[in-house]
Structure 1
């Protein structure tokens, strides 16, 4: 009998050893498969799959083509004509004419095209900043939505504990059934909030998938929504405002319109056309050379309408540049104020509010179970904790939104934060 028990024990040990060995072997693979999508990887995928960046890259090629075309000179023109179609007395002429641009038209076209090239390059940078901000926003929205689900699940367990305690006290005849009704109402409210949080999480993940260009692909995220970058110094932001892609595009828009105005002014000067050729007279059996010069007379059309429109467009671009700077300063200032306030709130929640609210719930629940507190005290403590958790997530969302706005304007702010 003891031998049989020993044999069974040995087989059990061998089976346990094999199971542990299998788990040890499979642990790295399981860990790798469980590894989620990080923010850096999300940014890389979004940049690789973004049609917006692809379109911005193509705009650079479009601008290159415009620059190439702007530098070309007009083609010569070959003409043939016949006077007197009778075979014995006809006169035929062959000429080649070359338009010569005067007034610096070609140089003005090249300058305008080069301004367009510069704008296309900066627009690509702005598109990258925009995409980066969108990915960060969608990524952290998903993390915060998951965090809200987890906190709501904890609140649900808390509400269930309170309801169970109230039910036990009611069944023991120590409290009124009204207390149980209140507990069940709160439990239902938290359950509704959990369903809403789960729906918001699914929507946030769907938005992130669309931002990454991978719709339908299941996502498992790796990140901590409470880990936010340090806010950069406001003075550092102001000193770098002119270097942002948004401001450079606004200035380049002014440069483009001024170059367009200069090009329109060159159109006031007519072009000269030089022609050379040969004429043969069958009747006289004689060939003569032809040389000609032609130029339009700018009597009525001196391009004055286009010059006026270009002048107003240049003034408009300057106004828009000034408006862009004012709006950027206002938006950045508001974002930084909101960011700093949110970071202070987060610190207060972590250090004081959440621990105190959790301690109050535990104390009130234990006191109620011991008959020292009324159930209203438990409900108030639970509501306080649930509200504090919700406000904590809201503070994280507010700080994230401010961070994203600054990223949208300045791009990666790591260097800016380091300079604070």
Structure 2
């Protein structure tokens, strides 16, 4: 028995060795990858760092305990001594503690949006790898079909050669064509294996998993939103833009903290002292012990350092964050425009294939093969028609793949599902 993989695919993956597993859909692979991808797991674990930083910012400063003991034994006055016990607490002024908590919370929020942005990027990579694998599978199937056509053509050529209708050269031409398609199959199988390996790595599937894919290159629904609506959706939805927005808020919070740092903190202390003294009067020595309680108040004087450098640094970060966010907004809109144009172009190409091209190609191939069987057409014309059949169908598969990839890019650019789910 295989070891069970945790997560949404456990039922599909935990099957006896050699048993047929259920095909995996793109939605299942995406859900599994979001739970098992290594880079995402590492980012989620970093959330503990930011949580600890927020807790540290909210924690009050520890009080300071002072203990002082003095004796006159070393100076010839053994009866003289002093013992002092003090407790000092530093109080943060100008709301520094709340401002530090605000900065830490903004950093924590930015990390959460960074995780969401990595999930967005992973989804796009995964969709592309999924359709790359489907394309490799379909190309292998197409190559196998052409190989079957060549084998059938070889049988017809042998029958005609035996009947004395064609020279042996025609039979040899068909053999060469069959050998060429068999060699191409090896390359297509290698490409399929590479794409499956990349897809398994992105998803985080167990090593050696050979689950089949359930999906199609045929496009489903189409986005119903205009380009302007998609741009607006990107501005409101994209997590990378939200990261920059939070970074800008964090910069404002850091600037407020830097200005508060210009105000010195206040140190308040409570001191308890015991003094022992001796007085000699008329040859009689008397001892006296006194206890005092005092308050100690101290604060640095901001004569030289008023945190001007810290304020300038925080201000520069705010300006930088503002510029980066403005540039990112423009770049996001350009990504949407590019992906939208690519999708429209791919759909136009598909429309050309879906018209009369593919059906007419099938009919032409069948007619040419029948004409050759009846001796009405030469072998070179049939071979050329089969090559055209393969090239056009391969182009059709590539156009379907390009449309699916363009849709994935557009969904990543706007950070939203545009057709109701990953199929």
Alignment TM class, shorter chain as reference:
0.7 to 0.9
The aligned residue for residue 102 of structure 2 is: 111
Unpaired runs of 5+ residues, structure 1, are 1-31
Preserved contact between residue 119 and residue 252 of structure 1 (Cα < 8 Å) = yes
1:76 alignment counterpart: 63
Q: Which residue of 1 aligns with 2:15?
A: none
Q: How does 1:256-405 map to 2 (within 5 A)?
A: 256-283=250-277, 284-405=288-409
CA contact (8 A) 2:261 2:307 kept: yes
- 2:200 and 2:342 map into 1 onto residues whose CA distance is 28
Q: 1:85/1:329 Cα in 2 relative to 1: closer, same or farther (>3 Å)?
A: farther
1:52 is displaced (CA, Å) by: 3.6
TM-score by length of 1: 0.83
Deviates more, 1:359-368 or 1:93-102: 359-368
Maintained 8 Å contact 2:82/2:273:
yes
How do residues 13-412 of structure 1 correspond to structure 2 at under 5 angstroms? 33=20, 35-84=22-71, 86=73, 87-166=78-157, 179-214=170-205, 215-233=207-225, 234-244=227-237, 245-283=239-277, 284-412=288-416
1: CA distance, partners of 2:339 / 2:181: 32
- Report the alpha carbon displacement of residue 397 of structure 1 after superposing the two structures with TM: 1.8
Shift >6 Å, 4+ stretches: none
CA deviation after TM superposition for structure 1 residue 71, in Å: 1.9
Structure 1: how far apart are the matches of 2:170 and 2:302? 95
Q: How many residues align?
A: 386
Q: 2-side partners of 1:108 and 1:368: how far apart?
A: 86
Partners of 2:151 and 2:376 lie apart in 1 by 20
- Which structure shows the higher helix fraction? 1
* SS of residue in 1 equivalent to 2:272: strand
Residue 395 (structure 1) shift = 1.0
2:339–2:413 contact (8 Å) kept in structure 1: no
Q: 1:177, CA displacement in angstroms? A: 5.3
CA offsets 1:143-189 (integer angstroms, 9 cap, x no match):
22211111111122223344454555566665565545544443333
Q: How far apart, in 2, do the equivalents of 1:84 and 1:353 lie? A: 108
Q: Residue 284 of structure 2 aligns with which residue? A: none
Distance 1:229-1:415 versus aligned 2 partners, 3 A rule: closer
Superimposed CA distance per residue, residues 6-57 of structure 1 (whole angstroms, 9 cap, x where no aligned partner): xxxxxxxxxxxxxxxxxxxxxxxxxx95632222322332233233443343
Question: Judging changes above 3 Å, is the alpha-carbon distance between structure 1 residues 55 and 407 closer, same or farther for their aligned structure 2 residues?
Answer: farther
Cα distance in 2, alignment partners of residues 185 and 301 from structure 1: 87
CA distance in 1 between partners of 2:72 and 2:28 (Å): 78
| Structure 1 residues 114 and 34: alpha-carbon distance in aligned structure 2, compared to 1, 3 A threshold | closer
Distance in 1 separating the partners of 2:408 and 2:183: 30
**In 1, distance between residues paired with 2:408 and 2:419?**
15
Counterpart CA distance in 1 for 2:276 and 2:35 is 72
TM-score for both structures, normalised by structure 2: 0.82
Q: Deviation digits for residues 94-142 of structure 1, max 9, x if unmatched?
A: 1111111112211211211221232233234333333333333333222
Q: Is the 8 A contact 1:132 1:411 kept in 2?
A: no
Distance in 1 (CA, whole Å) between partners of 2:173 and 2:403 is 35
The residue matched to 1:74 in structure 2 has which SS? Answer: coil
Give 1:304 deviation, angstroms.
2.7
Q: CA deviation at 1:210?
A: 1.9
**Residue 361 (structure 1) shift:** 1.8
Given that residues 167 and 180 in structure 1 are in contact (C-alpha distance below 8 angstroms), is that contact kept between their aligned partners in structure 2? yes
